[in-house]
């Protein structure tokens, strides 16, 4: 199994508070991703990183920021959590192949966030 | 952009049955992956299969890139096979199908 650890695994917080989710990998993969999964929407990409300090937005990036100061860590921050951000958040990693093609994707176990 | 369609959307089978799940995609892709999300929410990588056939125990997958489809075969189903099966294709951006929800009854 790919070495991906998400923390915290469960969090309950109140509207307006900041929240940071952490993803840690031991695989030295180049790409790291944050997805959210909600009923009826499947997996939606929030942000991704293609290297240290190199990040880009996904399809649902509003209200989220990310940082990657080390290869192994990718942080997702909700500056001021809202109830619409209640979701299950998945971190994923992949390596890059020749021609810039994304390699095999591996997921962490997920972090369940509830915003009251 | 590329469209990914999975069928059937839902499938209910008795333990021991075989099943075939299909993933159609609308344009050429660089790779394709199959995932299983179990009832506890874990997303497990099953196959990385841009073309050809791979087998892993009771599961096998075939991708015919020229005809833009992939098939996931599950033989002798067990209750632990229940969950949602996703395919995802990449053409520099990962695009997900909506999934097939599989329920295996004992």
Which domains does chain A carry?
7-115 (2.60.40.10)
Higher pLDDT, A43 or A103: A43
Q: Which residue has the tokens 């021609």?
A: A99
Alpha helices in B1-106 (DSSP H): none
**pLDDT value for A41:** 76
**pLDDT value for A73:** 97
Contact A102 B99 (CB under 8 A): no
**Is residue B94 over pLDDT 90?**
no
**Is residue A2 over pLDDT 70?**
no
| Domain boundary assignment for chain B | 4-105
Q: How many CB pairs under 8 A join A and B?
A: 41
**Is residue B80 over pLDDT 70?**
yes
Contact A110 B31 (CB under 8 A): no
**Is residue B64 over pLDDT 70?**
yes
Question: How far apart are the CA of A86 and the nearest CA of chain B, in angstroms?
Answer: 16
Q: A43 in contact with B at a CB cutoff of 8 Å?
A: yes
Residues of A in contact with B30 (CB under 8 A): 99, 101-102
Average pLDDT, chain B: 94
CA–CA gap between residue A12 and residue A113 (Å, rounded):
6
CA–CA gap between residue B69 and residue A114 (Å, rounded):
38
Neighbours of A4 (CB within 10 A): 22
CATH fourth-level superfamily of B4-105: Immunoglobulins (2.60.40.10)
Higher pLDDT, B16 or A1: B16
Average pLDDT for residues B4-26, to the nearest whole number? 97
CA–CA gap between residue B23 and residue B68 (Å, rounded):
8
The segment with the largest mean pLDDT, out of A6-15, A99-108, B25-34, B93-102, is: A6-15
Q: Which residue of A42, A88, A102 is in closest CB contact with B41? A: A88
- Which DSSP symbol is given to A29? -
**For chain B, how big is the Rg over CA atoms in Å?**
13
Q: Which of A105-114, B37-46, B61-70, B87-96 has the lowest mean pLDDT?
A: B87-96
């Amino acid at each position: 199994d790919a070495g991906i650890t998400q923390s915290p695994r469960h969090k309950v917080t109140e509207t307006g508070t900041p929240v940071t989710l952490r993803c840690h990998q031991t695989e030295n993969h180049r790409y790291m991703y944050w997805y959210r999964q909600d009923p009826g929407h499947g997996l939606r990409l929030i942000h991704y990183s293609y290297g240290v300090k190199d990040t880009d937005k996904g399809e649902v990036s509003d209200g989220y920021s990310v940082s990657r100061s080390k290869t192994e860590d990718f942080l997702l921050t909700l500056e001021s959590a809202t109830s619409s951000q209640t979701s299950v958040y998945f971190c994923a990693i992949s390596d890059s192949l020749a021609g810039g093609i994304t390699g095999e994707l591996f997921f962490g176990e997920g972090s369940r966030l509830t915003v009251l | 952009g590329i469209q990914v369609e999975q069928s059937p959307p839902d499938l209910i089978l008795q333990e021991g049955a075989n099943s075939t799940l299909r993933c159609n995609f609308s344009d050429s892709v660089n790779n394709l992956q199959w995932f299983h999300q179990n009832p506890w929410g874990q997303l497990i990588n099953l196959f990385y299969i841009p073309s050809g056939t791979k087998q892993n125990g009771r599961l096998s997958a075939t991708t015919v890139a020229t005809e833009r489809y992939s098939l996931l075969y599950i033989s002798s189903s067990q209750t632990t096979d229940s969950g949602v099966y996703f395919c995802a294709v990449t053409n520099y951006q990962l695009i997900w199908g909506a999934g097939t929800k599989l329920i295996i009854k004992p």
